Amino acid sequence: SETLTTHEYESKTLAKAFSEITGITVKHDLIQEGDVVEKLQTSMQSGKSIYDGWISDSDLIGTHYRYGKIMSLTDYMAKAGKEWTNPGIDIKDFIGTSFTTAPDGQMYQLPDQQFANLYWFRADLFERKDLKDKFKAKYGYELGVPQNWSAYEDIAE
Protein backbone atom coordinates (compact mmCIF):
# COMPACT_ATOMS: atom_id res chain seq x y z
CA SER A 1 0.00 0.00 0.00
CA GLU A 2 0.95 3.62 -0.34
CA THR A 3 3.36 5.06 2.21
CA LEU A 4 0.99 6.98 4.47
CA THR A 5 0.82 7.25 8.25
CA THR A 6 -2.43 5.26 8.24
CA HIS A 7 -0.86 2.44 6.23
CA GLU A 8 2.27 2.48 8.39
CA TYR A 9 0.00 1.92 11.41
CA GLU A 10 -1.76 -0.90 9.57
CA SER A 11 1.58 -2.48 8.72
CA LYS A 12 3.20 -2.17 12.15
CA THR A 13 0.19 -2.67 14.42
CA LEU A 14 -2.77 -4.26 12.66
CA ALA A 15 -0.76 -6.74 10.57
CA LYS A 16 1.09 -7.84 13.72
CA ALA A 17 -2.18 -8.24 15.65
CA PHE A 18 -3.72 -10.17 12.75
CA SER A 19 -0.72 -12.52 12.71
CA GLU A 20 -0.92 -13.06 16.47
CA ILE A 21 -4.64 -13.83 16.31
CA THR A 22 -4.68 -16.01 13.19
CA GLY A 23 -1.15 -17.38 12.91
CA ILE A 24 -1.05 -16.05 9.34
CA THR A 25 2.04 -14.00 8.58
CA VAL A 26 1.38 -10.75 6.74
CA LYS A 27 4.10 -9.08 4.68
CA HIS A 28 2.90 -5.53 4.19
CA ASP A 29 4.92 -3.58 1.63
CA LEU A 30 4.77 0.19 1.90
CA ILE A 31 5.70 1.84 -1.40
CA GLN A 32 5.12 5.15 -3.14
CA GLU A 33 1.77 5.79 -4.81
CA GLY A 34 3.17 5.72 -8.36
CA ASP A 35 4.73 2.31 -7.67
CA VAL A 36 1.42 1.00 -6.30
CA VAL A 37 -0.39 2.10 -9.47
CA GLU A 38 2.29 0.65 -11.74
CA LYS A 39 2.32 -2.72 -9.94
CA LEU A 40 -1.48 -2.88 -9.93
CA GLN A 41 -1.72 -2.20 -13.65
CA THR A 42 1.04 -4.67 -14.48
CA SER A 43 -0.72 -7.33 -12.41
CA MET A 44 -4.09 -6.67 -14.05
CA GLN A 45 -2.61 -6.66 -17.56
CA SER A 46 -0.58 -9.83 -17.08
CA GLY A 47 -3.08 -11.73 -14.95
CA LYS A 48 -0.25 -12.53 -12.50
CA SER A 49 -0.15 -10.80 -9.14
CA ILE A 50 2.93 -10.59 -6.98
CA TYR A 51 0.69 -9.98 -3.95
CA ASP A 52 -2.26 -11.79 -2.41
CA GLY A 53 -3.99 -8.53 -1.60
CA TRP A 54 -3.80 -4.82 -2.29
CA ILE A 55 -4.79 -1.62 -0.59
CA SER A 56 -5.46 1.05 -3.16
CA ASP A 57 -7.25 4.36 -3.19
CA SER A 58 -10.79 4.70 -4.42
CA ASP A 59 -9.60 6.84 -7.32
CA LEU A 60 -8.40 3.59 -8.94
CA ILE A 61 -11.90 2.06 -8.98
CA GLY A 62 -12.32 3.05 -12.64
CA THR A 63 -9.07 1.33 -13.60
CA HIS A 64 -9.97 -1.85 -11.73
CA TYR A 65 -13.45 -1.80 -13.25
CA ARG A 66 -12.23 -1.32 -16.83
CA TYR A 67 -9.81 -4.24 -16.46
CA GLY A 68 -12.64 -6.39 -15.09
CA LYS A 69 -10.46 -7.37 -12.15
CA ILE A 70 -12.67 -6.33 -9.28
CA MET A 71 -15.60 -7.90 -7.46
CA SER A 72 -18.78 -6.01 -6.72
CA LEU A 73 -19.18 -5.54 -2.97
CA THR A 74 -22.84 -4.75 -3.55
CA ASP A 75 -23.41 -8.27 -4.90
CA TYR A 76 -20.93 -9.98 -2.59
CA MET A 77 -22.41 -8.55 0.62
CA ALA A 78 -25.93 -9.49 -0.50
CA LYS A 79 -25.11 -12.98 -1.80
CA ALA A 80 -21.92 -15.06 -1.48
CA GLY A 81 -20.46 -12.95 1.32
CA LYS A 82 -23.68 -12.38 3.22
CA GLU A 83 -22.64 -14.64 6.10
CA TRP A 84 -19.40 -12.64 6.45
CA THR A 85 -21.07 -9.23 6.22
CA ASN A 86 -22.06 -7.44 9.41
CA PRO A 87 -25.88 -7.42 9.34
CA GLY A 88 -25.83 -4.04 11.09
CA ILE A 89 -23.80 -2.34 8.37
CA ASP A 90 -25.64 0.58 6.81
CA ILE A 91 -23.98 1.74 3.61
CA LYS A 92 -25.72 5.11 3.97
CA ASP A 93 -23.49 5.72 7.01
CA PHE A 94 -20.41 5.84 4.77
CA ILE A 95 -19.26 9.15 3.36
CA GLY A 96 -17.96 9.08 -0.19
CA THR A 97 -19.63 6.00 -1.64
CA SER A 98 -19.95 7.80 -4.97
CA PHE A 99 -16.16 7.54 -5.21
CA THR A 100 -16.25 3.78 -4.67
CA THR A 101 -19.10 3.04 -7.06
CA ALA A 102 -18.41 2.17 -10.70
CA PRO A 103 -20.42 3.21 -13.78
CA ASP A 104 -22.58 0.09 -13.38
CA GLY A 105 -23.94 1.46 -10.09
CA GLN A 106 -22.24 -1.27 -8.05
CA MET A 107 -20.03 -0.43 -5.09
CA TYR A 108 -16.55 -1.93 -5.26
CA GLN A 109 -14.91 -0.52 -2.14
CA LEU A 110 -16.01 0.71 1.26
CA PRO A 111 -14.63 4.20 1.75
CA ASP A 112 -12.27 4.27 4.73
CA GLN A 113 -10.36 7.50 4.19
CA GLN A 114 -11.51 10.80 2.83
CA PHE A 115 -9.19 12.96 0.82
CA ALA A 116 -8.90 16.67 1.32
CA ASN A 117 -9.96 18.22 -1.97
CA LEU A 118 -7.88 21.20 -2.93
CA TYR A 119 -9.35 24.13 -4.79
CA TRP A 120 -6.81 25.41 -7.29
CA PHE A 121 -7.47 28.59 -9.18
CA ARG A 122 -5.67 31.38 -11.01
CA ALA A 123 -5.47 34.14 -8.44
CA ASP A 124 -4.61 36.67 -11.15
CA LEU A 125 -8.07 36.20 -12.71
CA PHE A 126 -9.79 36.60 -9.34
CA GLU A 127 -7.92 39.89 -8.85
CA ARG A 128 -8.80 41.47 -12.20
CA LYS A 129 -11.18 44.40 -11.67
CA ASP A 130 -13.03 43.85 -14.97
CA LEU A 131 -13.79 40.21 -14.12
CA LYS A 132 -14.72 41.07 -10.53
CA ASP A 133 -17.14 43.75 -11.77
CA LYS A 134 -18.74 41.43 -14.36
CA PHE A 135 -19.12 38.67 -11.78
CA LYS A 136 -20.74 40.96 -9.21
CA ALA A 137 -23.12 42.40 -11.83
CA LYS A 138 -24.20 38.91 -12.91
CA TYR A 139 -24.38 37.12 -9.53
CA GLY A 140 -24.83 39.93 -7.02
CA TYR A 141 -21.87 39.08 -4.80
CA GLU A 142 -18.09 39.48 -4.83
CA LEU A 143 -15.88 37.12 -6.79
CA GLY A 144 -13.77 35.11 -4.36
CA VAL A 145 -13.05 31.64 -3.06
CA PRO A 146 -16.44 29.88 -3.09
CA GLN A 147 -18.10 29.33 0.27
CA ASN A 148 -20.64 26.78 -1.04
CA TRP A 149 -21.35 24.65 -4.11
CA SER A 150 -23.64 27.26 -5.66
CA ALA A 151 -20.80 29.77 -5.66
CA TYR A 152 -18.46 27.13 -7.06
CA GLU A 153 -20.90 26.60 -9.94
CA ASP A 154 -21.23 30.35 -10.52
CA ILE A 155 -17.45 30.71 -10.75
CA ALA A 156 -17.20 27.74 -13.11
CA GLU A 157 -19.57 29.45 -15.55
Shared domain check, 39 and 12: yes
10-35 per-position pLDDT tens digit: 889 999 999 999 999 988 888 888 89
Could you tell me the residue range of the domain that residue 141 belongs to? 123-156
pLDDT at residue 114 tops 70: no
Question: Which one, of 106, 71, 70, lies nearest residue 91 by Cα?
Answer: 106
Shared domain check, 136 and 92: no
Q: Once rounded to an integer, what is the mean pLDDT over residues 119-137?
A: 91
Domain count, the chain: 3
pLDDT at residue 48 tops 70: yes
C-alpha distance from residue 136 to each of 47, 73, 127, 143, 148 (Å): 56, 47, 13, 7, 16
Mean pLDDT of all residues in the chain? 88
Residue-level pLDDT at 85: 93
Shared domain check, 144 and 99: no
Report the length, in residues, of the chain.
157
pLDDT at residue 112 tops 80: no
- Look at the pTM and tell me if it is higher than 0.75: no
